[in-house]
Amino acid sequence: MENLNIEQTKFTPSIVFDIQKCLLEIKGDSLPENTTEFYKPLMESLLQFLQTPQNNITVNLELTYFNSSSSKFLYDFFDLFVEKNNGTDVVINWFYDEEDENMEEAGEDFQEDFEDLKFNVLVK
Amino acid sequence: MSTQAYEASLNKDNIIFAFTGAITYNMLSTLSAAVKEDLQKEESSKAYYNVYAVLVEQFQNIMNYSSKRKTISTKDVGIGTCLIKQVPQTNALVVCSGNEIETKQIDRVIAKLEKINSLNAVEIKAYYKEVRKSGVDSHDTGAGLGFLEMAKKSSAQLKYTITPIDEKISYFELDVAIKE
């Protein structure tokens, strides 16, 4: 499996998936032209990663804005860790800026939806 | 109408942003970001963020669902109008959209909006999460969460108007108010 390294743009987040370090990071705004297409490489890599039993994975998210189709993507992304997980220990860290109520609330909403995951909502 | 008269009419109605035409992804992302940067100077962080988030969803709805369409560099996009109005009386910024819609789609759109307008803020949040989870409204161009996303950000009900143009086509307007 190859690492994934997608650079941040004004409207799309950076995506770094370091397979050896078992670390996945998404940072920035998410308003892609086509959300499914944009996140397809990530979803494919992650699916492959989760199917081979691993020790652990840490997912760090530092989003500042996401549109409604990205909101659906995020739900499906977190859901993979539940539905397609073959014994990987998962920690998800949702970071938000102290003054950013929107991203704090968004993180808490996902936390409620995924009670079975180790889902932390943390100030940056 | 001269451009000067047009500008004066916008000013008279407290319209701080106006766009009419074909809405491409590049246009909607760039214009929304410009509005956000402009409002950031004057509005509270929650207000400018909410105006931005609602404007993006309004533009995307026009791009994806307007029945009046155009092809721009191989992309099929919708034509419509977006306005942002200041309403001093209610201390709100209203993000408005308008576009043509096929009359046969009207019932489906009204049902969605009426359902949302029958809910309070807590219920809207719960319904949003339910639709996001089930993916029932997901399709090629989005998650079908646009109206709900706007309702979450709004301080009032989603105000809509539908005006028949002819047998097949109507004009759909949606106003989303955000407290300053």
Report the CATH number that the domain containing residue B8 is assigned in CATH. 3.30.565.10
Q: Residue B76's domain spans which residues?
A: 3-179
Of A65, A75, A99, the CB nearest to B132: A75
Instruction: Answer yes or no: are the C-beta atoms of A65 and B53 closer than 8 Å.
Output: yes
Mean pLDDT of chain B, nearest integer: 94
Tens digit of pLDDT for each residue in B126-140? 999 999 999 877 776
Residues of chain A positioned with their CB less than 8 A from the CB of B46: 101-102
Cα A81 from Cα B180, distance rounded (Å): 39
Residues of chain B positioned with their CB less than 8 A from the CB of A67: 53, 56-57, 60, 149
Domain count, chain B: 1
Cα B180 from Cα B160, distance rounded (Å): 21
Nearest to B94, CA basis, from B18, B31, B12, B8: B18
Instruction: Answer yes or no: are the C-beta atoms of B94 and B177 closer than 8 Å.
Output: yes
How many CB pairs below 8 A link A and B?
A: 56
Q: Residue A10's domain spans which residues?
A: 4-123
Domain count, chain A: 1
| DSSP letters spanning B116-141 | HHTS-HHHHHHHHHHHHHH-TT-BTT
* Nearest 10 degrees: Cα torsion A36, A38, A43, A45: 150
Whether the ipTM is more than 0.85: the answer is: yes
Q: What is the pLDDT of residue B24?
A: 97
SS3 content of chain B, % helix, strand, coil (to 5): 50, 30, 20
Tens digit of pLDDT for each residue in A1-37? 889 999 999 999 999 999 999 999 999 999 999 999 9
Cα A66 from Cα B149, distance rounded (Å): 11
Q: What is the pLDDT of residue B161?
A: 98
Nearest to B146, CA basis, from A72, A9, A105: A72
